[in-house]
Amino acid sequence: MKTKSIKKDQVHVITLGCSKNLVDSENLITQLEHNQFKVKHNPTTKPADIIVVNTCGFIDRAKQESIDTILEYAQLKNEGKIKKLYVTGCLSQRYRDNLMEEIVEVDDFFGTLEMPALLKRFNVDYKSELIGERQITTPSHFAYLKISEGCNRTCSFCAIPLMRGKHISQPIESLVEQAKHLAKVGVKEIILIAQELTYYGLDLYKKRALPELIDKLSEVEGIEWIRLHYAYPSKFPLEILDVIRTNTKVCNYLDIPLQHIADPVLSRMKRQITSIESRDLIKQIRDKVPDIALRTTMLVGFPGESEDDFDQLSRFIEEVRFDRLGVFQYSHEEDTSAFLFEDNVPADVKEQRASELMKIQEPISESLNQQKIGKDYKVLFDRKESGYFVDRKESGYFVGRTEFDSPEVDNEVLVPSKENYIRIGDFAQVTITDATAYDLYAKLSDQ
Ligand code: SF4
């Protein structure tokens, strides 16, 4: 269908879901801006004429948020406030036919790997070389680097392979080029992301190549921190730990979702790892990198999760004392292999188990943070915030993170902005003066 040439108009790109979706939106924005479209990302201003919603289709709550967002813009289109509405991303990939029938206001739906087709609607030809010039939407001193797409794992609860396809690693050369570009535009911290980080290279180089990739990225001038997210525990390549321990640019931080610890649940989840192997892996990680910060994610309410399974999980959290913990509630996702099980853990029990785990974690986080009081840390400052009241006087803070904290999900370090000046995006040495479960208060170390 030949589209009428579109006036170079304003475009708003709305991103929902995870950091991998954010990178896709950034690539789309880069392609459009390269063709003189004025694009805004997740703006709070009045809608542009053309809206692209990049959706998430992971679990119930995320799907609902995506549908609500599409409907919001469909309403604006009915009111004549926007001209074109396009939908892309995971929800669109997974439910395109249903959505096309139900939300007719949407001009077109695109899958997760269909950016060239979406760009055609703007009369733009996709240019792969622009990947190396990605415009970031995060604060200019840190950026996500998506090292691969898709996943070859078969975790029974997970719909991601249905939406993102098989694992495809990006070549090391291309990732190094991307990192050089990011460093040139001021990025100091790159956060490596994927559906399954530790699988990197097995498709392309027939070997696990994450250590090699990290070494190459750490040679990029200007990059000071490299952070690892979404490692997979089964057959975890221990050589990564040597890289974390020896390469000073690699943060002593690892995000490794374990999902559960009870063997009956792990096997029905098809996580390809046992309770004993999981415990052994955590021990090996801590033996090899003693002060590493470990972030994990647990999934509660999986079909058949018994009281005893949950007790095992609770005791495991108490014992292992993770530095950072995220908890999800099981979502019964059609077309996943777990969908064949009966979703027999009631919603209120899922809710209760999720909050019980976080209740166990909070004093652990607090005591681990308390141990940091009086110590010095290198902190990367993300923003300045005001509106805090200390002794009824309005005050503000410079907010940053240590190498043990990832943006948006982990602890923050707060340095009073009164009588201090810190340039956002700079590193500064601080001394921790106080701590709560999820925040650290600090002063500049030379004070
Ligand atoms: S490794 Fe992660 S993305 Fe892949 S199937 Fe398992 S949970 Fe899903």
Q: Is the CB of 158 under 6 A from ligand 1?
A: yes
DSSP state of 259: B
In a domain, 416, yes or no: yes
Answer yes or no: do 329 and 393 share one domain: no
Sign of CA dihedral 258, 261, 262, 263: positive
Q: Are 357 and 344 in contact (CB under 8 A)?
A: no
pLDDT band at 3 (very low <50, low <70, confident <90, very high): very low
Q: Tell me which residue has its CA closest to atom 8 in ligand 1.
A: 158
Q: Is the CB of 150 under 6 A from ligand 1?
A: no
Is pLDDT of 7 > 60? no
Answer yes or no: do 134 and 122 share one domain: no
In a domain, 90, yes or no: yes
Answer yes or no: do 352 and 219 share one domain: yes
**How many Å lie between the centroid of ligand 1 and the Cα of residue 24?**
19
- Best residue for ligand 1 mutational test, from 18, 146, 160 (most atoms within 8 Å of Cβ): 160
In a domain, 3, yes or no: no
Answer yes or no: do 143 and 246 share one domain: yes
Residue 153, SS3 per DSSP: coil
Give me the CATH number covering residue 274. 3.80.30.20
Angstrom distances, CA of residue 20 to CA of 23, 55, 159, 195: 5, 11, 15, 8
C-alpha 123/C-alpha 316 separation (Å) is 55
Percent of the chain residues topping a pLDDT of 90: 91
What is the tens place of the pLDDT at every residue in 197-233?
999 999 999 999 999 999 999 999 999 999 999 999 9
Comparing C-alpha atoms, which of 24, 142, 63, 26 is closest to residue 381? Answer: 142
Average pLDDT over residues 117-138: 93
Domain around 242: 130-368
Q: Are 56 and 62 in contact (CB under 8 A)?
A: yes
In a domain, 258, yes or no: yes
Answer yes or no: do 168 and 282 share one domain: yes
Answer yes or no: do 337 and 411 share one domain: no
Amino acid 390: pLDDT: 56
What does pTM read for this prediction?
0.94
Amino acid 9: pLDDT: 61
Is pLDDT of 6 > 50? no
Output 184-187 pairs: Cβ under 8 A, ≥24 positions apart.
184/222, 185/136, 185/140, 186/140, 186/141, 186/222, 186/425, 187/136, 187/140, 187/141, 187/142, 187/143, 187/222, 187/223
Q: Give the end of a domain, one of 85, 105, 128.
A: 128
Q: Are 387 and 403 in contact (CB under 8 A)?
A: no
Answer yes or no: do 356 and 416 share one domain: no
Amino acid 369: pLDDT: 97
Q: Give the end of a domain, one of 128, 152, 183.
A: 128
Q: What one-letter code names the amino acid at 437?
A: A
Give me the CATH number covering residue 427. 2.40.50.140
Answer yes or no: do 382 and 429 share one domain: yes
Q: At what angle do helices 60-78 and 90-102 cross, to 10 degrees?
A: 50
**Mean of the per-residue pLDDT values for the chain?**
95
Residue 30, SS3 per DSSP: helix
In a domain, 4, yes or no: no
Q: Are 235 and 271 in contact (CB under 8 A)?
A: no
Comparing C-alpha atoms, which of 32, 11, 40 is closest to residue 123? Answer: 32
- Best residue for ligand 1 mutational test, from 162, 196, 256, 268 (most atoms within 8 Å of Cβ): 196
Is pLDDT of 66 > 60? yes
Q: Are strands 50-55 and 10-15 parallel, antiparallel or unpaired?
A: parallel
C-alpha 256/C-alpha 187 separation (Å) is 24
Bridge partners, 415 (sequence order): 398
Average pLDDT over residues 231-248: 97
- Overall size of the chain counted in residues: 447
**How many Å lie between the centroid of ligand 1 and the Cα of residue 393?**
48
In a domain, 324, yes or no: yes
Average pLDDT over residues 303-330: 98
- Best residue for ligand 1 mutational test, from 56, 149, 151, 336 (most atoms within 8 Å of Cβ): 151
What is the tens place of the pLDDT at every residue in 18-48?
999 999 999 999 999 999 999 999 998 888 9
Bridge partners, 413 (sequence order): 400, 440
**How many Å lie between the centroid of ligand 1 and the Cα of residue 339?**
15
C-alpha 33/C-alpha 42 separation (Å) is 15
Q: Are 100 and 89 in contact (CB under 8 A)?
A: no
Q: Which residue has the tokens 């840190």?
A: 142
Cβ atoms within 10 Å, residue 153: 16
Q: Are strands 324-329 and 293-300 parallel, antiparallel or unpaired?
A: parallel
**How many Å lie between the centroid of ligand 1 and the Cα of residue 271?**
9
Average pLDDT over residues 149-168: 97
C-alpha 412/C-alpha 348 separation (Å) is 31
Comparing C-alpha atoms, which of 255, 251, 213 is closest to residue 231? Answer: 255
**How many Å lie between the centroid of ligand 1 and the Cα of residue 382?**
30
Q: Is the CB of 378 under 6 A from ligand 1?
A: no
In a domain, 250, yes or no: yes
Is pLDDT of 447 > 80? no
Give me the CATH number covering residue 67. 3.40.50.12160
Q: Is the CB of 195 under 6 A from ligand 1?
A: yes
Angstrom distances, CA of residue 418 to CA of 375, 382, 386, 389, 414: 22, 17, 10, 12, 12
Q: Is the CB of 196 under 6 A from ligand 1?
A: yes
Q: Tell me which residue has its CA closest to atom 3 in ligand 1.
A: 195
Number of compact structural domains in the chain: 3
Q: Is the CB of 161 under 6 A from ligand 1?
A: yes
What is the tens place of the pLDDT at every residue in 388-405?
665 556 678 999 999 999
Answer yes or no: do 167 and 266 share one domain: yes
Answer yes or no: do 105 and 253 share one domain: no
Q: In what order do the strands lie in the sheet with 250-255?
A: 142-146, 189-193, 225-228, 250-255, 293-300, 324-329
C-alpha 329/C-alpha 355 separation (Å) is 10
CA 274 from chain centre, in angstroms, equals: 26
Q: Give the end of a domain, one of 113, 128, 143.
A: 128
Of ligand 1's listed atoms, the one at least distance from the Cα of 271 is: 6
Q: Is the CB of 57 under 6 A from ligand 1?
A: no
**How many Å lie between the centroid of ligand 1 and the Cα of residue 299?**
12
Q: Are 416 and 397 in contact (CB under 8 A)?
A: yes
Answer yes or no: do 226 and 149 share one domain: yes
In a domain, 109, yes or no: yes
Beta strands in 343-417 (DSSP E): 376-390, 393-401, 412-416
Answer yes or no: do 427 and 323 share one domain: no
pLDDT band at 152 (very low <50, low <70, confident <90, very high): very high
